[in-house]
Structure 1
Amino acid sequence: MPIDDSAAGDLFEERLGDALHRAGNGFDADRRALAAGGEARGRRSRSRRRIAVTGSVAGLALVGVGGALLVPRTDLGRAPADTGTSKVRTEKHGHVMSAADMIEALEKTLPAGRFSGETGRPGDHPLGPSALVVHDDGHGKAAVSVGVNLVDPASPAAGEGVTCPDRSLTTYDTCGTSTLPDGSRLMIFQGYEYPDRRTDTKYWYAQLLTPTGRQVNVSEWNAAAEKGSPVTRPEPPLSPAGLKRVATAAVWRRAADGLPKPRETSDPTTTWRTPADGKAVLDTLVSLLPEDVTVASRGADDQEYAWVIVDDGEGRSLVQINVQAGMGDVEGQLFGGAETLPDGTKVVTKKAPAEKGGSGASMWTADTIRPDGLRVVVSAFNADRQGAAATRPAPALTMSELRAIATSAKWRSLS
């Protein structure tokens, strides 16, 4: 079986940034998308995500809904050391599966059929073990993938990965969660590769989180590739029951046991930062909105992220915000060439098409970082949810209003 690590990377760096990233992936993220660094954090799709410079989960960032930058953390609320000099050590335990082992295991868990396009990653790969195959059960070819990870099961990031997305922010057909007899939590999501349904490519996945932090994601499409390939069948090959069966296979737990286990050091660069309370972020955001808009809907995650849908009389507009402490380590990446205010705050603004938006969808963003590392990034859309086509020419908030929100002194009281 061919094992093409670079080809596997093309799929998994993006898909794990969209699916496993829903579970945190060992990152402190908020899942709803904001555009950070002008280009790029957040956790995704229940929909909370951090703004990203790149689509790779390998290094520094993940792209979430709307193109947000997700900065990896060594622990929840703990800023990472520079990736080239990190002093976080790892301790391996258990059997490390090879790429061939992962591919073989995936094929054995799937229904009978023909397999092609096999790619995989071994357990000692920086992104963790994974496999991708094109499966044909006689009713059309379909891409099926699996990724395995090891996380802190008590972290909000991990729990959010097995929580269904808010329908006001994510378009999908069905999503359900359950608790298994061993205490594992399982989410099964049935949606679309493109939220605006520009193609008929369906994207279904199962996300499993065990009480010991083993995390498994099984994804499938009704096409031979997630993108750029014609639909070959009405639905992906695995039903929700089939996704559950594959995700709960014992082999993936063994694969997770072979992953490096983080062991923290006394590195002073990993100073603990208390994440901002999500409700406090929401209340502050609402207090800073211009007087000519009304709030039609609102919501917040447990930490750092909040959103509102506002209406200025010309249509609804989604506004979302992330407030992150201890982000000074990424200042160089995200704020090069930024405007610097008298108090030392750096500001970047950007108007760009919404990465996963529909026709005409755009996202305006003001991204800021204070000298103490407090980062506030706020984005507004010309639609009332992520992935939707534009419903108005521009967002309800102007760039100057977004900038005023992001630079407000009120955020200092939350950090």
Structure 2
Amino acid sequence: MPIEEDFTEALRTTLKTFEPPNAATLLQSCVRNGRRRRRRRVAAVTLSGAAVLALVGTGAAGVPGLLSDGRTADRTLPGPAASTTTGSASTTAKPTFTGTLPADRALATLTELLPTGLTHSSPPGGRQSGQLWVDDGHGKSLLEVHVSRQTSTASIRGHVFAGTSPSADGTLIASRQAPPGTEPGHAAVDVLHPDGLYVTIMLWQAPGQNAPSTRTTPILTPAQLRAIATSLRWQ
């Protein structure tokens, strides 16, 4: 018999003896095998993540890098960059305020700006109204301060500073003085900065606004009153 016929006959014999596998059993085996492979992949990913976290936790900066072929590199990974900030460079910005500066804070700044040789004390309710008694030994005067930061300055510009020319930096300064013979004599300086900071300093030649004058000359000169009102300490 030719070899082709022998091969064909062998195939027929093999097919007759072949029994197809049980479909249900085959399906269950495939499912088990798939689940087994999935668990292995999850375990491998989990182990890899844990290894990375452990590397970070122990300080990756001190662990040599690995090359693609598994060899270690001859360098170490750089650590966190050192801070270049020095104590002199890291200055704290001066705190500011919005709205009206509390009277006690305004009075604290006012007393620091007073000329030497003056004593000061607080009149009744003065710490709430921004009032201070000042004395040079020749009669007590009432000094009052109000400081605020305005968000809209149109009204103030139109009334208090009407006709006033701003300085080079945009600051408006207006000085007021009571007409001669007014009891008690008083003067005031108003300052409005470009950022809305508004300072008013008022001085009476008496212990109170409605009290008779106890002095013939103001305890502060116009220049001293202006210097206090325009001080940058109010910022």
Alpha-carbon distance, 1:278 to partner: 1.6
8 Å CA contact 1:367–1:377 kept in 2: the answer is: yes
Alpha-carbon distance, 1:403 to partner: 0.6
* Partner amino acid, structure 2, of 1:325: R
> Does the alignment pair 1:300 with 2:123?
no
8 Å CA contact 1:359–1:390 kept in 2: the answer is: no
Residue 48 of structure 1 corresponds to which residue in structure 2?
none
> Does the alignment pair 1:332 with 2:161?
no
TM alignment of 1:252-291, pairs within 5 A = 273-291=98-116
TM alignment of 1:4-403, pairs within 5 A = 273-297=98-122, 299-301=126-128, 305-326=129-150, 328-330=153-155, 331-353=157-179, 360-403=183-226
CA separation in 2, counterparts of 1:404 and 1:379? 13
CA separation in 2, counterparts of 1:307 and 1:343? 30
CA separation in 2, counterparts of 1:280 and 1:371? 22
* Partner amino acid, structure 2, of 1:362: G
Question: So what's the TM-score if we normalise by structure 1?
Answer: 0.31
Unaligned runs of 5+ residues in structure 1 are: 1-272
Unaligned runs of 5+ residues in structure 2 are: 1-97
**1:76-123 Cα distance to aligned partner (Å, 9 max, x none):** xxxxxxxxxxxxxxxxxxxxxxxxxxxxxxxxxxxxxxxxxxxxxxxx
Q: Percent identity of the aligned residues?
A: 36
Q: 1:275 to 1:296 in 2, by over 3 A?
A: closer
After TM superposition, which residue ranges in structure 1, 4 or more long, deviate above 3 angstroms? none
CA separation in 2, counterparts of 1:332 and 1:359? 26
CA separation in 1, counterparts of 2:179 and 2:110? 23
8 Å CA contact 1:346–1:370 kept in 2: the answer is: yes
Q: 1:359 to 1:372 in 2, by over 3 A?
A: closer
Q: 1:359 to 1:285 in 2, by over 3 A?
A: same
8 Å CA contact 1:349–1:365 kept in 2: the answer is: yes
Q: What is the aligned length?
A: 135
8 Å CA contact 1:353–1:361 kept in 2: the answer is: no
Corresponding residue SS for 1:300: helix
Q: Determine which structure has greater relative contact order: mean sequence separation of CA pairs < 8 Å that are 6+ residues apart, divided by chain length.
A: 1
**1:21-44 Cα distance to aligned partner (Å, 9 max, x none):** xxxxxxxxxxxxxxxxxxxxxxxx
* Partner amino acid, structure 2, of 1:313: G
CA separation in 2, counterparts of 1:362 and 1:278? 24
CA separation in 1, counterparts of 2:201 and 2:165? 16
* Partner amino acid, structure 2, of 1:311: D
* Partner amino acid, structure 2, of 1:345: T
Q: 1:274 to 1:351 in 2, by over 3 A?
A: closer
8 Å CA contact 1:297–1:308 kept in 2: the answer is: yes
CA separation in 1, counterparts of 2:112 and 2:165? 25
Corresponding residue SS for 1:340: coil
Alpha-carbon distance, 1:385 to partner: 0.8
Question: So what's the TM-score if we normalise by structure 2?
Answer: 0.53
Which has a greater percent of strand?
Answer: 1
CA separation in 2, counterparts of 1:361 and 1:385? 8
**1:134-165 Cα distance to aligned partner (Å, 9 max, x none):** xxxxxxxxxxxxxxxxxxxxxxxxxxxxxxxx
- What's the RMSD between the two structures over aligned residues? 2.3
Alpha-carbon distance, 1:392 to partner: 0.7
CA separation in 2, counterparts of 1:306 and 1:349? 19
8 Å CA contact 2:103–2:146 kept in 1: the answer is: no
Residue 13 of structure 2 corresponds to which residue in structure 1?
none
**1:374-401 Cα distance to aligned partner (Å, 9 max, x none):** 1101011110111011111132111111
